[in-house]
């Protein structure tokens, strides 16, 4: 007696036309699923004219979207209206004259680039050297005067100077761009500890020379007892004043003091808890620039945290950090699954209704309903699998189209939002740099294909099961009487 | 006695006050051809489906070899004890002649087909390429492929011309007499009924 596999195979091979609708539906579902997943994992290629690696190098920054999302997620885990600290995020309640106020902030452990990630990238073949630059760190000058402009409004000024630590100062972006040059002495290097390089204006104002020491106090320490000293090993000059990070003399160009990498964290009373803001990787051979980029992109680090920027300001932004692209892609996949399930169920209901005669014959021959459903399932799996396999070569092209469409929609939305926000006053938070999307890089991975294949199989199984209820509820005698 | 209907009644759930069959008794033996006669709506096909284990009587029971068919289950009864032939042949349209016969059971299809006059030149053809008479022969061959001792046929000659109907009747008679099977045929055909060893008449259900 022919078993369900033999019957299924013959049915599919000998009556292919009846399977055409299922084949096309399965192929479309497969393409949509792959497109949705690929768009959710896409690299949105964009250009940031404000940030770029100088020379033959690459730059690594934190991604602002990712930072905001991580902050929100951790804050939610701490709980609304709950005091506490988690993974570098802190929430605190304060009683003020205006009632209860909540303040939240993130410390260095949250803000910093991860040192192991930087070191992993630095170890890639083709990288000859690398630098790490700390976050802008404000400390009180102790025993020396900073440069001030009495004509400027200083009511929001912190009364501090700015420290900028570097692993290797010669790779600091201000130095690489040629704006900062040495007047005397030398720049900081990886082996240095407790050293600094000051501006010629600051040296002149305080009568400082190489070998002198500067003292800095933690601006949070009200007692003023926590003081750190750094020896002056260089004096620099600038062609143009360095752009101030914020308003106030604390951040003015002349008050920027370059130090060794780990000094800023000591000076602000957070030794062992550094804040690394940028990393720079120097490519040894300019001709191998693209090859080195590809090798670096293969390094397994948490890329979602970062912007990886090249010498043209081109960067790859993971879709999860690009507006709501990952969410939209997820929604796209969910809608495809739901619609696919409904459509497939209807197709199988149609199949079973149209094949009730065949079911009746098989039932009268003593074939079980399970075996008949099994045959339908196998037929569906054969057709869906073929549709899935044939959709794979088309998937990259369709996925690219879908991702381009989704990104364009997201970009338009962002532009509208930007136009709407144009006249609003900034809230003092971090600002995002200006990025222009230049393309979308998409890849269908083996994992995506596996998930899609499993999804198609589950959809097929589920919808055959649902449609099969129609068959299971029917009495053989009823089918027999219909046949008669 | 191979198959027995004992005090069998049947009512549709929606028409409980109007029985299709009421307190019916019948007994069937191997080696005989039975014709079940009755006017349309008298419950002939219902009776056949109860004997085939395709439905369950509202009252009474069907026994196979002295044992209620419910004891081992209806599917088992259909699979092991019963083979069926329909008026409209009911062959699977994506299978060849041989494959359709193989659906019925494990017996060698070639022998069975030759036995009822279907030559090897037809064996690999799709069943839709055969004439009505040839299709009915294939359906009979499928019924014979199983080891079942009872062959139930619902209007097997209903769609055939006179000459072919005569040939099919002869085959059914041959199956009963030479192969020792119990062949029960629901029919309107007087010619077929005339060839039967026994005739069972089912009267019209009384209107309430």
Candidates A8, A365, A375, partner chain B, best to mutate (most B CBs within 10 A):
A365
Closest Cβ–Cβ partner in A1, A15, A476 for B106 = A1
Candidates B11, B50, B55, B153, partner chain A, best to mutate (most A CBs within 10 A):
B55
Residues of B in contact with A16 (CB under 8 A): none
Candidates A8, A366, A370, partner chain B, best to mutate (most B CBs within 10 A):
A366
pLDDT at A203: 94
Distance from CA of A14 to the nearest CA of B (A): 6
Q: Give, to the nearest 10 degrees, the angle between helix B132-144 and helix B97-104.
A: 30
Q: Which helix (H) or strand (E) holds A137?
A: strand A137-142
Q: Would you list which residues of chain A are within 8 Å, Cβ to Cβ, of chain B?
A: 1-2, 7, 10-11, 14-15, 357-358, 360-366, 368, 475-477, 480-481, 483-484
pLDDT at B63: 94
Candidates A364, A368, A376, A474, partner chain B, best to mutate (most B CBs within 10 A):
A364
pLDDT at A244: 77
**Contact assignment for B90 to A357 by CB distance below 8 Å:** yes
The parent domain of residue B156 ranges over 30-53+73-201
CA distance B89 to B5: 26
B99 touches chain A (CB under 8 A): yes
B79 touches chain A (CB under 8 A): yes
Q: Which of A289, A257, A239 is nearest to A58 (CA)?
A: A289
**Contact assignment for A484 to B79 by CB distance below 8 Å:** no
pLDDT at A424: 56
CA distance B116 to B172: 10
| Structural domains of chain B, count | 1
pLDDT at A480: 61
**Contact assignment for A2 to B103 by CB distance below 8 Å:** yes
For residue A367, what is the nearest residue in chain B, using CA coordinates? B79
B91 touches chain A (CB under 8 A): yes
B155 touches chain A (CB under 8 A): yes
At B23, list the tokens. Answer: 């307190």
B8 touches chain A (CB under 8 A): no
First to last CA, chain A: 24
Closest Cβ–Cβ partner in A358, A475, A477 for B92 = A358
For residue A361, what is the nearest residue in chain B, using CA coordinates? B90
CA distance B17 to B208: 7
Percent of chain B with pLDDT over 90: 34
Candidates B78, B129, B144, partner chain A, best to mutate (most A CBs within 10 A):
B78
Q: Which helix (H) or strand (E) holds B25?
A: strand B21-28
For residue B47, what is the nearest residue in chain A, using CA coordinates? A477
Within the 18-47 window of chain B, which residues sit less than 8 Å (CB to CB) from chain A? 45-46
Per-residue CA distances from A174 to A121, A193, A217, A241, B112 (Å) = 22, 21, 25, 10, 95
CA distance B119 to B145: 17
List of residues 6+ apart from B175 with CB closer than 8 A:
B140, B144, B151, B181, B183
Mean pLDDT throughout B140-162?
86
B1 touches chain A (CB under 8 A): no
Distance from CA of B177 to the nearest CA of A (A): 23
Residues in chain A: 484
Residues of B in contact with A364 (CB under 8 A): 52, 54, 78, 84, 86, 90
**Contact assignment for B78 to A365 by CB distance below 8 Å:** yes
CA distance B205 to B191: 25
pLDDT at A430: 45
Q: Strand A314-318 relative to strand A436-441: parallel, antiparallel, unpaired?
A: unpaired
Architecture of the structural domain at A52-73+103-133+278-312: 2-Layer Sandwich (3.30)
Closest Cβ–Cβ partner in A2, A361, A483 for B99 = A2
B106 touches chain A (CB under 8 A): yes
In a domain, B141, yes or no: yes
pLDDT at A60: 92
Q: What is chain A's pLDDT, residue by residue, as a tens digit (484 residues)?
A: 778 888 888 988 888 887 888 899 999 999 999 988 888 877 776 666 666 666 788 999 988 888 888 898 999 998 888 888 998 899 988 888 888 888 888 888 899 999 999 999 999 999 999 999 999 899 999 999 998 887 777 777 888 999 999 999 999 989 988 899 999 999 999 999 999 999 999 999 999 999 999 999 988 776 766 789 999 999 999 999 888 777 778 888 999 999 999 999 999 888 888 999 999 999 988 888 889 988 998 899 988 888 888 877 777 776 666 667 778 888 888 999 999 999 988 988 888 888 888 888 888 787 888 888 889 889 999 999 999 999 999 888 888 888 788 778 777 877 777 677 666 544 444 445 566 777 777 788 888 899 999 999 999 889 888 888 877 777 766 766 665 5
First to last CA, chain B: 34
B54 touches chain A (CB under 8 A): yes
Candidates B12, B51, B54, B147, partner chain A, best to mutate (most A CBs within 10 A):
B54
Mean pLDDT throughout B90-102?
91
Question: What are the residue ranges spanned by the domains of chain A?
Answer: 4-41+324-404+433-483, 52-73+103-133+278-312, 136-274
Q: For the complex shown, is ipTM > 0.85? A: no
At A414, list the tokens. Answer: 């962002």
Residues of B in contact with A7 (CB under 8 A): 92, 95
In a domain, B22, yes or no: no
**Contact assignment for A480 to B49 by CB distance below 8 Å:** yes
Distance from CA of B92 to the nearest CA of A (A): 6
Residues of B in contact with A11 (CB under 8 A): 94
In a domain, B49, yes or no: yes
For residue A481, what is the nearest residue in chain B, using CA coordinates? B45
**Contact assignment for B80 to A366 by CB distance below 8 Å:** yes
| CATH code of the domain containing B153 | 3.40.50.300
């Amino acid at each position: 007696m022919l078993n369900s596999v033999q019957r299924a195979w013959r049915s599919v091979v000998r009556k292919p036309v009846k399977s055409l609708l299922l084949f096309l539906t399965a192929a479309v579902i497969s393409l949509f699923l792959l497109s949705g997943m690929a768009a959710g994992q896409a690299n949105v290629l964009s250009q940031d004219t404000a940030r770029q690696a100088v020379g033959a190098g690459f730059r690594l920054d934190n991604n602002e979207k990712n930072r905001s999302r991580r902050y929100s997620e951790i804050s939610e885990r701490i709980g609304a209206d709950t005091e506490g600290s988690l993974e570098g995020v802190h929430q605190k309640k304060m009683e003020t004259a205006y009632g209860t106020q909540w303040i939240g902030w993130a410390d260095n452990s949250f803000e910093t680039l991860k040192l192991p990630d930087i070191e992993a990238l630095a170890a890639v073949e083709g990288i000859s050297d690398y630098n790490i630059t700390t976050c802008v760190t404000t400390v009180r000058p102790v025993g020396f005067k900073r440069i001030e402009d009495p004509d400027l409004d200083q009511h929001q000024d912190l009364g501090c100077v700015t420290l900028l630590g570097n692993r290797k100062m010669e790779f600091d972006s201000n130095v690489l761009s040629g704006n900062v040059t040495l007047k005397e002495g030398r720049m900081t290097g990886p082996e240095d500890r407790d050293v600094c390089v000051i501006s010629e204006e600051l040296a002149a104002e305080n009568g400082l020379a190489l070998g002198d020491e500067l003292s800095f106090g933690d601006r949070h320490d009200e007692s003023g007892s926590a003081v750190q000293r750094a020896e002056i090993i260089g004096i620099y000059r600038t062609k143009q004043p360095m752009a101030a990070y914020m308003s106030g003399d604390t951040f003015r160009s002349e008050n920027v003091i370059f130090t060794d990498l780990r000094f800023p964290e000591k000076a602000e009373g957070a030794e062992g808890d550094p804040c690394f803001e940028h990393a720079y990787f120097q490519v040894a051979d300019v001709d191998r620039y693209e090859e080195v980029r590809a090798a670096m992109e293969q390094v397994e680090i948490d890329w979602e945290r970062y912007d990886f920027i090249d010498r043209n300001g081109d960067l790859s932004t993971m879709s999860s950090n690009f507006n709501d692209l990952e969410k939209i892609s997820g929604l796209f996949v969910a809608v495809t699954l739901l619609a696919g399930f409904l459509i497939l169920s209807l197709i199988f209901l149609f199949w079973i209704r149209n094949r009730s005669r065949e079911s009746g014959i098989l039932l009268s021959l003593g074939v079980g309903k399970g075996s008949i459903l099994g045959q339908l399932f196998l037929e569906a799996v054969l057709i869906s699998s073929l549709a899935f396999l044939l959709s794979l070569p088309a998937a990259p092209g369709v996925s690219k189209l879908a991702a381009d469409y989704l990104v364009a929609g997201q970009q338009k939305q962002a532009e509208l939002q930007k136009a709407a926000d144009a006249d609003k006053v900034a809230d003092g938070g971090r600002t995002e740099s200006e990025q222009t999307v230049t393309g979308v890089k998409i890849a269908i991975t083996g994992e995506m294909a596996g998930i899609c294949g499993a999804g198609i199989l589950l959809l097929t199984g589920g919808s055959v099961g649902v449609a099969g209820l129609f068959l299971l509820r029917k009495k053989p005698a009823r089918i027999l009487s219909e046949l008669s | 006695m191979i198959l027995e209907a004992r005090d069998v009644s049947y009512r549709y759930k929606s028409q409980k006050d109007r029985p299709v069959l009421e307190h019916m008794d019948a007994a069937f033996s191997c080696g005989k051809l039975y014709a079940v006669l009755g006017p349309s709506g008298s419950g002939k096909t219902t009776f056949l489906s109860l004997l085939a284990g395709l439905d369950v009587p509202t009252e009474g029971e069907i026994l196979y070899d002295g044992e209620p068919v419910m004891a081992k289950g209806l599917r088992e009864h259909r699979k092991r004890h019963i083979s069926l032939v329909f008026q409209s042949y009911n062959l699977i349209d994506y299978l060849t002649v041989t494959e359709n016969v193989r659906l019925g059971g494990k017996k060698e299809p070639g022998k069975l087909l030759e036995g009822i006059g279907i030559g090897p030149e037809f064996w690999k053809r799709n069943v839709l390429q055969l004439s009505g008479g040839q299709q009915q022969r294939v359906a009979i061959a499928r019924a014979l492929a199983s080891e079942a001792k009872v062959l139930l046929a619902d209007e097997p000659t209903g769609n055939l011309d006179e000459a072919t109907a005569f040939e099919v009747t002869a085959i059914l008679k041959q199956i009963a007499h030479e192969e020792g099977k119990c062949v029960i045929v629901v029919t309107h055909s007087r010619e077929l009924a005339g060839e039967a060893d026994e005739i069972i008449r089912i009267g019209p259900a009384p209107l309430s």
